């Protein structure tokens, strides 16, 4: 019942404003090359999507990969939430179990990710299965727990950071055999991870050691002329990382609100989380079995330490330890037999999170301009034309939306201009404009780019082109057709 109820919630609120990653996953599932099916961060996610899509198509059902991934995500997330609910229910009254489950299931990070066509529904399910093995120890066989750990890493690479928590648990549970137990656990982890990753490397990345290294450790597979320790992924700015970490932790629970309301919500959330953490630290050692509380804190600490330096502002990575933190917070809640009003308070907290995040999720579930805009642009831009859009940030979604919804527009007809990129060079686009015109094609510039004529990098560019005509769709999205004022190839710096 719990799984079905939350799966229905996620289906009703599934996003129509898709993320950049969602389009990429859908493109990989529908028509991507086989190399794209194995992403180092979540190795088998795209492969599963490809298999499921082909099975559905073979059954005579024709469905877009975006929609299929969302349907599967809703079911997977429902199962994950059900596992968490029944785990809390073992030691707490039903109202408290429901409240803590709502805290996880309707948290902004979880709700927004599982309703998108992303990979984190599967990652959270793997996290909770792994955490269940951790809590069931020593009744769980060490080799079986190691196998679950190895399989979990295939759903998200970062789950390898849970290994120290298990080692701590073993140390406290069976001290006389702790080294043999640890070895029995680690062995299947290494076998599964090395065998599966090794097979992918041998098949697709065996050209050189550098190629394999970049693929395994680059967050998205390091791009050309980029290193594993690229500045946009790793940061050593302690102050900036600390602020980003605090902000992302708060927003992982409750969606950001502007102005005074945002400050009040953030303050209330910080007080609640702080109080829960203090209570859990004070009571966890006396309530849980030996090694459990310490192992949970080690789990959280390992992930937080890594994420402090690697993309510290990313909400989705918090989901790999947020269930552990919320479960640990149950130490602060009344135990079985507590007065009903005390239990109801925790249920109300979960309902409050649901109500606070509902509007933000509903906004993402509303009609999206991505599909209509992409189809409109595809009717405007021909195979010999050039379409220049504002690249970087969320605006790069337009590129993958065009590739997904309007595959008739060839990728070579698209060019993104990052206004904030330090290496952005208008000269390159001027050369492409001239080449396109020389070949008989037309050039279109997105209105978002044209609106930044005061940008110092674009001042020279707009002196050498002139608008010929403006087009706009029914939503007011504007595109300019432009021509170069020069009849010769522009000089480059």
3-class SS of residue 106: coil
Tell whether 404 is covered by a domain.
yes
**Is the domain of 326 the same as that of 394?**
no
Tell whether 489 is covered by a domain.
no
Q: Which uninterrupted H or E stretch holds 97? A: helix 94-105
**Is the domain of 302 the same as that of 377?**
no
The pair phi, psi for residue 444, each rounded to 5°, is -120, 140
What is the predicted pLDDT for the residue at 242?
85
The pair phi, psi for residue 115, each rounded to 5°, is -90, -10
- Parallel/antiparallel/unpaired status of strands 414-418 and 386-391: parallel
**Is the domain of 394 the same as that of 377?**
yes
Tell whether 382 is covered by a domain.
yes
With 0-12 CB in 10 A as exposed, 13-18 as middle and 19+ as buried, what is 272? middle
Q: How far apart are CA 481 and CA 387, in angstroms?
A: 9
Closest CA to 152 of 136, 130, 133: 130
**Is the domain of 95 the same as that of 136?**
yes
Tell whether 492 is covered by a domain.
no
Count of beta carbons in the 10 Å neighbourhood of residue 282? 12
**Is the domain of 163 the same as that of 299?**
yes
Tell whether 490 is covered by a domain.
no
What is the predicted pLDDT for the residue at 389?
72
Q: How far apart are CA 294 and CA 280, in angstroms?
A: 11
The pair phi, psi for residue 309, each rounded to 5°, is -105, -20
CB 62 within 8 A of CB 177: no
Tell whether 493 is covered by a domain.
no
The pair phi, psi for residue 142, each rounded to 5°, is -60, -40
**Is the domain of 332 the same as that of 386?**
no
Residue written as token pair 């002196």 = 463
Tell whether 491 is covered by a domain.
no
In the chain, which residues have pLDDT < 70? Answer: 174-176, 218-233, 279-288, 290, 334-340, 367, 390-396, 407-429, 447-464, 473-476, 485-493
Taken in order 257, 259, 260, 266, the sign of the CA dihedral is positive
What is the predicted pLDDT for the residue at 419?
40
CB 184 within 8 A of CB 143: yes
Residue written as token pair 């330096």 = 309
**Is the domain of 265 the same as that of 304?**
yes
Q: Which of 336, 364, 392 is the last residue of a domain?
A: 364
What is the predicted pLDDT for the residue at 316?
87
**Is the domain of 357 the same as that of 384?**
no
**Is the domain of 290 the same as that of 423?**
no
At 137-167, the pLDDT tens digits run: 877 788 999 999 999 999 999 999 999 999 9
Q: How far apart are CA 430 and CA 177, in angstroms?
A: 70
The pair phi, psi for residue 221, each rounded to 5°, is 80, 105
What is the extent of the structural domain holding 91? 2-364
**Is the domain of 265 the same as that of 405?**
no
Tell whether 462 is covered by a domain.
yes
**Is the domain of 333 the same as that of 459?**
no
Q: Which of 313, 333, 364 is the last residue of a domain?
A: 364
At 47-81, the pLDDT tens digits run: 999 999 999 999 988 898 999 999 999 999 999 99
Q: Which of 364, 386, 410 is the last residue of a domain?
A: 364
- The number of folded domains in the chain is 2
Q: How far apart are CA 181 and CA 174, in angstroms?
A: 8
**Is the domain of 194 the same as that of 103?**
yes
Token pair of 217 as six digits: 């450790």
């Amino acid at each position: 019942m719990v799984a079905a109820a939350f799966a229905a919630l996620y289906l009703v609120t599934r996003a129509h404003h898709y993320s950049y990653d969602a389009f990429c996953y859908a493109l990989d599932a529908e028509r991507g090359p086989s190399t794209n099916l194995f992403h180092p961060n979540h190795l088998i996610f795209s492969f599963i999507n490809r298999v499921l899509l082909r099975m559905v198509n073979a059954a005579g059902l024709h469905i877009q990969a975006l929609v299929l991934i969302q349907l599967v995500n809703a079911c997977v997330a429902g199962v994950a939430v059900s596992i968490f609910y029944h785990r809390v229910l073992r030691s707490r009254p039903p109202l408290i179990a429901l409240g803590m489950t709502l805290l996880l299931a309707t948290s902004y990070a979880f709700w927004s990710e599982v309703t998108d066509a992303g990979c984190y529904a599967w990652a959270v399910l793997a996290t909770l299965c792994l955490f269940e093995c951790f809590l069931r120890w020593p009744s769980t066989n060490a080799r079986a727990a190691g196998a679950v750990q190895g399989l979990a890493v295939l759903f998200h690479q970062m789950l390898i950071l849970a290994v120290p928590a298990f080692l701590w648990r073993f140390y406290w549970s069976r001290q006389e055999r702790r080294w043999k137990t640890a070895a029995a656990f680690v062995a299947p982890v290494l076998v599964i991870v090395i065998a599966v990753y090794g097979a992918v490397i041998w098949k697709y990345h065996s050209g050189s050691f550098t190629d394999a290294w970049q693929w395994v450790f680059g967050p998205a597979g390091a791009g050309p002329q980029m290193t594993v320790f690229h500045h946009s992924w790793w940061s050593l700015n302690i102050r900036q990382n600390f602020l980003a970490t605090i902000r992302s932790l708060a927003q992982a629970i409750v969606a950001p609100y502007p102005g005074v309301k945002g400050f009040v919500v953030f303050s209330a959330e910080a007080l609640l989380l702080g109080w829960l953490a203090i209570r859990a630290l004070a009571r966890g050692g006396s309530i849980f079995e030996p090694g459990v509380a310490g192992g949970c804190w080690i789990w959280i600490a390992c992930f937080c330490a890594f994420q402090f330096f690697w993309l510290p502002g990313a909400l989705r990575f918090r989901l790999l330890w947020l269930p552990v933190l919320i479960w640990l917070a149950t130490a602060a809640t009344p135990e079985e037999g507590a007065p009903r009003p005390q239990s109801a308070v925790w249920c109300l907290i979960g309902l409050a999170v649901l109500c606070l995040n509902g509007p933000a999720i509903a906004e993402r579930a509303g009609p999206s301009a991505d599909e209509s805009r992409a189809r409109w642009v595809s009717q405007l831009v021909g195979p010999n034309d050039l379409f220049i859009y504002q690249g970087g940030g969320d605006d790069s979604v337009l590129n993958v939306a065009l590739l997904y919804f309007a595959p008739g527009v060839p990728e070579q007809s698209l060019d993104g201009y990052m206004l904030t990129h330090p290496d952005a060079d208008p000269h390159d686009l001027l050369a492409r404009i001239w080449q396109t015109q020389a070949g008989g094609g037309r050039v279109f510039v997105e209105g978002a780019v044209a609106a930044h004529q005061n940008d110092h990098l674009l001042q020279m560019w707009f002196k050498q082109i002139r608008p010929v005509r403006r087009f706009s769709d029914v939503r007011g999205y504007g595109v300019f057709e432009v021509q170069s004022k020069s009849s010769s190839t522009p000089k480059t710096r």
